[in-house]
Amino acid sequence: MAVRSLQIPSSSQPLPLTSAVFFLLLLQWRNSSTALLLKLKNHHGGHSHSSGPLFQSNRSSCQMFTGTWVRDDSYPMYQYSDCPFIDPEFNCQLYGRPDSGYLKYRWRPLNCELPRFNGKEFLERMKGKTVMFVGDSLGKDQWESLICLIASSAPSTSTQMTRGLPLSTLKFLDYGLTVSFYKAPYLVDIDAIQGKRVLRLEDVSNNADVWRSADVLSFNTGHWWTHQGSQQGWDLIESGGTYYQDMDRLVAMERALRAWANWADSKVDRTRTQLFFLAISPTHYNPSDWSAGPTAATTKNCYGETTPMSGTMYPGAYPEQMRVVDEVLRGMKSPPYLLDITLLSALRKDCHPSVYSGELSPDQRANPGRSADCSHWCLPGLPDTWNQLLYTAMFY
């Protein structure tokens, strides 16, 4: 089928319409955008986040996402040297991180203790099944954590790794278990049209058939919606048949997430598929979120941080993307289990790769003020706790 010619807009406007029609559509869009943003901003009254998951597991009354980090010398649950599946960007110990105290913390909910992750039990209970993480590099971080947790518990189990785009898969051959990562940073489709990457805010059809076959599905999105310039993953946005160079990023994310939610409500068989959504993973680029006085003035980001924050209140500004996630998931007919890791992760300013990443050059390592990665997480590290929570929600 021929693709109609695209005329690229010269500003953040849709492709040409008559001026009168365009004005009316723009006014309508701005009004709806403003209403949505006001609703989102009012959804959480402060920096605390205590709503918990959207629906509580009927197998546990544990409030898993409110608690504190406690020192535990039995951690980490595996060593980086025992897991060959960790990408260089997450492998902090291999690439020279000098401290290891950040590995010795365990998440303790306020009213219970989490079961320790048991990889052998996971293999036995998930025989012949498929687990799939779908989303951005934070989902990849969690995927690699899970396969390390499982493999370290059963080191003699035969595995087969296949890496590709968008799908990477590790098979535990003796158990018929497949654990995969599907890269889809926005969850909705991106199509190539006349050399332009078009982000389709209402379409998941190119990817969704692959997702639907999994027995356990965990989705995430958030960070890529803020990327601009060379890091932006699209050239044009298509919404409702109209093309835009740009629009309010929260509004775009909300539209895409609603398209994903409609697909999940109508196409995922919840009698056979467990559905999860990973909350927004916070970054630590602003020291004023956790420090005051001269320390905040001299520190530029997470570089050099070696201990968690204390307290049960969210430090700094609550992520706007999480307000969108809350809004959309609450409106679903059958919402996923929300792994509400935003607060507990916000307390871990010490767990990022910083400059200890195989992706950085020596010159970049020498300039942590500009080069430190305070978005992703070291492995072993914080994503192991995300998977301990996933494991608890799945089996307990």
How many angstroms separate the CA atoms of 348 and 351, rounded?
6
How many angstroms separate the CA atoms of 114 and 106, rounded?
9
- Computed on alpha carbons and rounded to an integer, the radius of gyration of the chain in Å comes to 21
Exposed/middle/buried for 211, CB within 10 Å: 0-12, 13-18, 19+?
Answer: buried
- b/e code 137-152 from CB counts within 10 Å (16+ = b): bbbbbbbbbbbbbbbb
Which of 323, 148, 348 is closest to 249 using CA atoms?
323
How many angstroms separate the CA atoms of 26 and 20, rounded?
10
Cβ-based neighbours of 182, under 8 Å, separated by 6 or more: 132, 133, 134, 166, 167, 207, 210, 211
- Catalytic center residues: 137, 373, 376
How many angstroms separate the CA atoms of 7 and 16, rounded?
8
Using alpha carbons, list the distances in angstroms from residue 233 to 87, 247, 259.
21, 14, 19
